[in-house]
Amino acid sequence: MNWPAEETPPAEATPTPVGSAAGDPAFRPVRADELAACAEIWRHGINDYVGRLNQPEVPPETAPIVRLYGHLQSTDPERFVAAVVPDGAQPDGERIVAFAAAVMRERLWYLSMLFVLPGYQRAGLGRSLLARVAPAVDAATIRATATDSAQPIANALYASLGIVPRVPLLNLIGLPERGGVFGELPSGVHPTAFEEIATGPPGGDGHRGLVDAIDALDRDTLGVAHPMDHRFLGQEGRRGWLYHGPDGRPLAYGYAGESGRVGPVAVLDEALMAPVLGHLTSAVTPRGAFALWLPGTADRAVVPALQAGFRLDQFPVLLCWDRPFADLSRYLPISPGLL
Ligand SMILES: CC(C)(COP(=O)(O)OP(=O)(O)OC[C@H]1O[C@@H](n2cnc3c(N)ncnc32)[C@H](O)[C@@H]1OP(=O)(O)O)[C@@H](O)C(=O)NCCC(=O)NCCS
């Protein structure tokens, strides 16, 4: 089913018509042992166009993205779907040529991944897969995703369905060489590491209190709670802090990890955004550089981050949605793959 990372994917010049001699594609849920094959489609799908733009290619190391896929599949297995074509050279007689992965978090549907192998693009596969993982369009459900601004097909496809690019998501890389510009946390606001709050047995008062505080901050800023994603962040080694006000009320939370990933961050008052980022990027020492994903609307984060020495990296990603749902001046997402 999978092909070696170094093997070139099918030729890209002529899209293979869906339902052609290459065989009709069939659609089915992805098996857990096929996540690495999906990661290769993701890598080839990106490298196919970034190479033409003289941008750096995605390296062969896909373990982190495979772990993300494992999480997406564990929460929404029916929304992780592959398109397969007959291939007699494969042990099970078929080969994945495209896949989509989406999650439902309360009323928010988020498309995490949609990738079609270069030789199979522009032949209707992406639209068919999207239809299979999308929710029914109704008044309650919000549909959102993130796209690469350098990718017109994806932006056009989603926008044609109402999921329109709205806000840039900027990738900032570096170290806080002038971290002082983030400013101090206001007097009386104290960070407490999650592990100091969630003491006692799992499911006990400490754990429940932390989950409730995070859920409330998420609903206030992102519009939905997503405790399953917070559990995943803990497994991924991101450390979290809850910021309490003088009266003990939770005012914000934020994460940073030694991998350098910072976020998600949620703050009740956007004035807290910069000092919380300042705290996170000083409380953790990354193995390399920090990597921040900042919505353009979070100018309270973007401006000090640039002044602190972070550098803008790559073309912006675009956050797309069909109706407003979050306050992205007060919420920084996990990554483009998972809000
Ligand atoms: C984006 C992607 C998933 C789309 O899948 P696909 O199978 O190539 O797309 P489809 O053929 O199903 O649909 C593309 C639609 O966009 C339209 N389209 C393409 N380029 C367009 C443009 N520049 N302006 C307007 N419409 C455009 C096509 O006409 C088609 O619409 P139609 O169904 O009404 O004819 C696929 O091209 C891909 O994997 N690209 C590289 C990786 C990527 O960017 N993935 C998305 C990450 S955000």
* Residue 79 belongs to a domain: yes
Asked if residue 12 has pLDDT above 90, the reply is no
Alpha-carbon torsion (243, 244, 245, 249), positive or negative:
positive
Residue 314 binned pLDDT confidence (cut-offs 50, 70, 90): confident
Atom index in ligand 1 nearest the CA of residue 130 equals 12
Instruction: Give the range with max mean pLDDT: 20-34, 101-115, 188-202.
Output: 101-115
Asked if residue 4 has pLDDT above 60, the reply is no
Residues 45 and 184 both lie in one domain: no
Residue with tokens 């919420």: 331
Task: Say how many Å lie between the CA of residue 9 and the centre of ligand 1.
Answer: 18
Residues 185 and 254 both lie in one domain: yes
- Domain extent, residue 272, equals 172-319+328-332
Of 74, 108, 135, the residue that ends a domain is 135
Q: Hey, what are 316's tokens?
A: 């912006």
Task: Say how many Å lie between the CA of residue 303 and the centre of ligand 1.
Answer: 34
CATH number of the domain where residue 58 is located: 3.40.630.30
Other Cβ atoms closer than 10 A to 204: 11
CA distances from residue 240 to 108, 124, 130, 237, 334 in whole angstroms, order as listed: 23, 42, 34, 9, 12
For the stretch 217-237, pLDDT in tens is: 999 999 999 999 999 999 999
CATH number of the domain where residue 305 is located: 3.40.630.90
- 335 secondary structure, DSSP code: B
Looking at residues 116-122, what average pLDDT do you find?
A: 94
Q: Which residues contact 75 (CB under 8 A, 6 or more apart)?
A: 103, 228
Give the start-end residues of each E strand in 30-107.
Answer: 80-86, 94-105
Task: Say how many Å lie between the CA of residue 123 and the centre of ligand 1.
Answer: 8
Atom index in ligand 1 nearest the CA of residue 151 equals 44
pLDDT in the model for residue 304: 98
**What percent of the chain is helix, strand and coil (3-state, nearest 5)?**
35, 30, 40
Looking at residues 304-332, what average pLDDT do you find?
A: 96
Question: If you count DSSP H runs as helices and E runs as strands, how many of each does the chain have, helices first?
Answer: 9, 13
